[in-house]
A and B are shown apart, each in its own frame.
Chain A
Amino acid sequence: MKISVIITLKKDVLDPQGKVIHQTLDGMGFNDINEVRQGKYFEIDTKESDPKKAKNKVEEMCKKLLANLVIENYKIIEV
């Protein structure tokens, strides 16, 4: 089965890339943006067929490698 993971920066962590993207969008005429935050997206195809077990494994992956919990949050989504 497939599991997705979205990694986002925590609220109080500076995101200079997001800021520049925001400025560029603003320059292109998208003037109604409050803020842009850049993150990461993963699709993990696992042999595990039990959704609960698969999610638990992916959560472990997030904690151990995919996210750095000092600065990032993760969200696991079943596809």
Chain B
Amino acid sequence: MKSSVITFPGSNCDRDMDVALKKFGFKNKMVWHNDVEIPKSDLVVLPGGFSYGDYLRCGSMASKSKIMSSVINFAKSGGLVMGICNGFQILVETGLVPGVLLRNKYLEFICKNVFVKINNKKNTYFKNINKDVVEFHIAHNEGNYFCTKDQLTEIEDNQQIAINYCNKDGKIENQFNPNGSIKNIAGIFNKEKNVLGMMPHPERMIDTSLSGEDGSIFFKNLINNLK
């Protein structure tokens, strides 16, 4: 399976993602934001970081960079595109997934492990995964998911909510919401479920001695689903 990770000026989780993808069997290529075409890929990842220094709005500049037309075409033709953290912010700015990510409710940068509940397994990302609740890491200042009422109705009707912040037993309650996101939303799909944007970093959970194993479960499952 082939993957591509796009590096923008200011990306800082691109290498971590490269390590994670290779560890679980992807042949990964790093792609520079100024390139025009993405190489032939089964998965394209927009990594975390602070592309363009978060100028204007997080992800807004990166969403207009050269490589993104190719990424958008790939997504629109059904290709798998996953945006993590800043990658999620870039995805909402392209309009590939609905909504926006606002400043965290309590104005603090949040860096901690969280539990998220998988809300929809009828997609390539989470199909056959043997867990309902996984522990991932978050590190962000703008992760407060917001959308209009009409958008929320549409998102819910189309089962586009991918994961919600919860406790270790999978309870989705306000007290387990780290950043003020509507409905504890931590990740969201496009209508067709081939594009996934999420704030948590699975690539930071691929080694027991460093963090945890739930990222390993996610990546192993993903590559199996693609085979």
Q: Please report A residues at the B interface, Cβ cutoff 8 Å.
A: 13-14, 16-17, 20, 64-66, 68, 70-71
Contact = CB atoms under 8 A, between A and B. Distances in A.
28 contacts: A13-B102, A13-B146, A14-B105, A14-B144, A14-B146, A16-B103, A16-B104, A16-B105, A16-B106, A16-B107, A17-B103, A17-B107, A20-B107, A65-B56, A65-B60, A65-B64, A66-B56, A68-B57, A68-B60, A68-B100, A70-B99, A70-B100, A70-B146, A70-B147, A70-B151, A71-B100, A71-B102, A71-B146
For the complex, would chain A's binding face be called helix, strand, loop or mixed by DSSP majority? helix
B93 interface: yes
A14 B107 contact: no
B208 interface: no
A71 B144 CA distance: 13
B52 to A, nearest CB: 12
B148 interface: yes
Interface of B: 56-57, 60, 64, 93, 99-100, 102-107, 144, 146-148, 151, 180
Given A13-B102, A65-B60, A70 B107 contact: no
A16 B56 CA distance: 17
Contacts, number: 33
B125 to A, nearest CB: 24
Contacts of B102: 13-14, 71
Contacts of B93: 68
Contacts of A20: 107
Q: Which residue, of A17, A66, A68, has the highest number of chain B Cβ atoms within 10 A?
A: A68
The 8 nearest A-B residue pairs measured at CB: A70-B100, A16-B107, A71-B100, A68-B100, A16-B103, A68-B57, A16-B105, A65-B64
A56 B120 CA distance: 43
Contacts of A17: 103, 107
A64 B57 CA distance: 13
Contacts of B100: 68, 70-71
Nearest to B60: A65
